Structure 1
Amino acid sequence: MNAVPKPVPAPIGRDRDATIDQLVKGAIDLHCHSGPSVMARYLDHIEAMKEASEAGLRALLLKDHYYSATPVTALLNKHFSELGVLMLSGVPLNNAVGGLNVHAVEHGIKLGARLVWMPTFSSKNHIDHHKADAHFTDKFPQTKRKMIEPEPLTVLDAQGRLKPEVKDILDLIAEADVVLSGGHLHISEMWPLFDEARARGVKRILVNHPTYVVDATLDDMRELARQGVYMEHSMCMWVPGSKFKFYDPEFLQQVIDAGTVDLTILGSDLGQVGNPRIVDGFRSVIGTCLDLGHSEEDIRKMTSTNAATLMGLED
């Protein structure tokens, strides 16, 4: 499954544009950063839905690090159904919702949340990265106004064991059959988390941008793939013109090989002021995948089918 794909001649000119247009249609973005938000966004949730509709995207998952957008998506799906885009969201377990708060998870799931993120901005790992890198604020979105210093969160206790409250959260995730995301935990925290999650019946597991902040190596990604874990790579880290473009196409090929086409998801991680539009992110990375020799079938998997399978969306 890790073999380098056989080169497929990339379409050129108008054929290339038409191929990209077709692959954008039906795509699913599991990493849309629209607003309102305490971070600067170029579009709000309604505008994101409209942008997705115009391009023919099938679904968007709204992600805010400070609140669950699940009530918003319920309203959007009811009152803007004519746009033909399914809106999804989840529960981010950061300080703003009480951290590792089983009540926030229960409430979110009962409202229709389809995913639970372990701590992201509030994770000890994220905060440690911030403190260790003098240029971190240039590499990661910041709030428009200074916020109270976060309380570092980790899923492990002082003895390296999973905290009881995390186990309670995993039980709720398993019972509802929603997605567990490792958030911005370090990869070393994710191994015991995922082992316990599977033992408790969690079937859907995701790692967001495994190479960034999470610090997963290619070997780690191979092991995650062996365990059936989906890995989402952020388009904003490959798109020309993005403030967060860190990687080249060759590295995109490496992470796809490590995680396999069947478990790789490409999400925009876009919506920030000053960055490319979400749809342009999809167009750019789809073009890159064509240039790398991926077939249209494989690109469709990485931009749509895999995400649909992970989220349990009906065909």
Structure 2
Amino acid sequence: MTRPTAIERALHGLVDLHCHSGPNPLPRRFDHVAAARDGERLGMRALLAKSHHHNTVMDLLAMRDLLAPLSTRVYGGIALNNQVGGINPYAVEMCLRMGGRCVWFPTISSSAHIDHHNSGGGFPKPTIPLSVAQVDVRGPGGALIPEVGRVLDVVAEAGALLSAGHLAPGDILEVFAAARDRGVRRLVVSHPNFVIGSDPAQCREFIGLGAYIEHETSMYDPEVANARWSPRQLLDWIEQVGPEHTVLASDLGQQGRPMPVDSFLRVGAALLDLGLPEKDLRRIVRTNPSYLLGLDD
């Protein structure tokens, strides 16, 4: 048996909070079972299966017998886009009470996402015709709609993770402030510099409300076609907001893109080469996401 390399040892037990495995209306390279099998290569502790279109808990329950023998555990959640009725507390209640661990506020249905991709940001086309409608968290007067509070109460009751999805920064601040006041303890902002359009100073405001800042290996991986930034820029983000508030996830699973494990290995190794201490790498791939997913409760 080949002995693990230094980077493999550093990443052993990682938790990926952003895996786009299938089934899904968007073309995927692998399903949830294959994602977990691949995770075993690196001793991945767990992954969170994300769909922009449906409650992934139901997928995982249907695949339960295939997932059971695998050491990498797979968890699901629900994104509040128009396909599930938008800000729908009833859909959230079902998802979380059937074992879901995460609620994403609108992603592809957010105004920030629609504005970004209408201006040429690019996004894969679904394999079937689908309509996308904007889902807003505010009413005509500018206040958060009542359904937001009802969703937050269900998330707090379950002790689940609340993701900002692709909301605009001002909406994130207000939703997260309401979440904190209602007892939500686990908050995350994904790829703040992509779609959302936030900077480190603004992210420190999110952190002040209890949030963690998630970055995606796929956006810094030198072997990903059209990767947006370099590992050096990722290290700068980590230094500015602190490893204690940072999470590294993959945002992979799309057809034609790398396997998450391979991307973690490349980006993790690059961060260590740039001077990130190994203890900080472990924190952003293991300790922080394990807490957010509630694995040690």
Of 27, 49, 69, 1:62 maps to 49
Of 67, 78, 85, 1:91 maps to 78
User: Superposition pairs for residues 236-251 of structure 1, below 5 Å?
Assistant: 236-251=218-233
Report the counterpart of residue 215 of structure 1 in structure 2.
Answer: 197
User: Do structure 1's residue 142 and structure 2's residue 125 form an aligned pair?
Assistant: yes
Report the counterpart of residue 171 of structure 2 in structure 1.
Answer: 189
Q: CA 1:257 to 1:222, structure 2 compared with 1: closer, same or farther past 3 Å?
A: farther
Question: Unaligned stretches of 5+ in structure 1?
Answer: 1-13
Report the counterpart of residue 113 of structure 1 in structure 2.
Answer: 100
Between the aligned partners of 1:162 and 1:99, the Cα distance in structure 2 is 14
Report the counterpart of residue 147 of structure 2 in structure 1.
Answer: 165
Report the counterpart of residue 312 of structure 1 in structure 2.
Answer: 294
Between the aligned partners of 1:229 and 1:78, the Cα distance in structure 2 is 35
Q: What letter is aligned with 1:51?
A: D
Instruction: Report the TM-score when normalising by structure 2.
Output: 0.94
Secondary structure class of the residue paired with 2:195 = coil
Between the aligned partners of 2:10 and 2:127, the Cα distance in structure 1 is 35
Report the counterpart of residue 59 of structure 2 in structure 1.
Answer: 72
Q: CA deviation at 1:244?
A: 4.7
User: Do structure 1's residue 32 and structure 2's residue 19 form an aligned pair?
Assistant: yes
Q: CA deviation at 1:289?
A: 1.2
User: Do structure 1's residue 278 and structure 2's residue 260 form an aligned pair?
Assistant: yes
Q: CA deviation at 1:302?
A: 0.7
Contact 2:180 2:210 in 1 (8 A): no
Between the aligned partners of 2:69 and 2:177, the Cα distance in structure 1 is 41
Q: CA deviation at 1:79?
A: 4.4
Between the aligned partners of 1:158 and 1:292, the Cα distance in structure 2 is 48
> Which string of whole-angstrom CA distances, capped at 9 and with x for unpartnered residues, describes residues 104-140 of structure 1?
0011011111110001001122111122x23x22xx3
Contact 2:57 2:99 in 1 (8 A): yes
Percent identity of the aligned residues?
A: 38
Of 164, 181, 184, 1:202 maps to 184
Q: CA deviation at 1:146?
A: 3.8
Q: CA 1:305 to 1:78, structure 2 compared with 1: closer, same or farther past 3 Å?
A: farther
Stretches of 4+ moved more than 6 A in 1?
none
Contact 2:21 2:29 in 1 (8 A): yes
Q: CA 1:243 to 1:142, structure 2 compared with 1: closer, same or farther past 3 Å?
A: farther
> Which string of whole-angstrom CA distances, capped at 9 and with x for unpartnered residues, describes residues 129-181 of structure 1?
122x23x22xx333234422x11111112222111111111111111111111
Q: CA deviation at 1:313?
A: 0.8
Root-mean-square deviation (CA, aligned residues, Å) is 1.8
Report the counterpart of residue 128 of structure 1 in structure 2.
Answer: 115
Contact 1:225 1:260 in 2 (8 A): no
Q: What letter is aligned with 1:107?
A: M
Q: What letter is aligned with 1:314?
A: D
Between the aligned partners of 2:93 and 2:294, the Cα distance in structure 1 is 19
Contact 1:88 1:114 in 2 (8 A): yes
Of 176, 184, 187, 2:158 maps to 176
> Which string of whole-angstrom CA distances, capped at 9 and with x for unpartnered residues, describes residues 29-57 of structure 1?
01111111111111111111111123311
Work out the number of aligned pairs and report it: 296
Contact 2:176 2:209 in 1 (8 A): no
User: Do structure 1's residue 229 and structure 2's residue 197 form an aligned pair?
Assistant: no
Contact 1:262 1:306 in 2 (8 A): yes
Q: CA deviation at 1:275?
A: 1.1
Instruction: Report the TM-score when normalising by structure 1.
Output: 0.89
Secondary structure class of the residue paired with 1:194 = helix
Contact 1:154 1:185 in 2 (8 A): no
Q: What letter is aligned with 1:215?
A: G
Between the aligned partners of 1:229 and 1:28, the Cα distance in structure 2 is 17
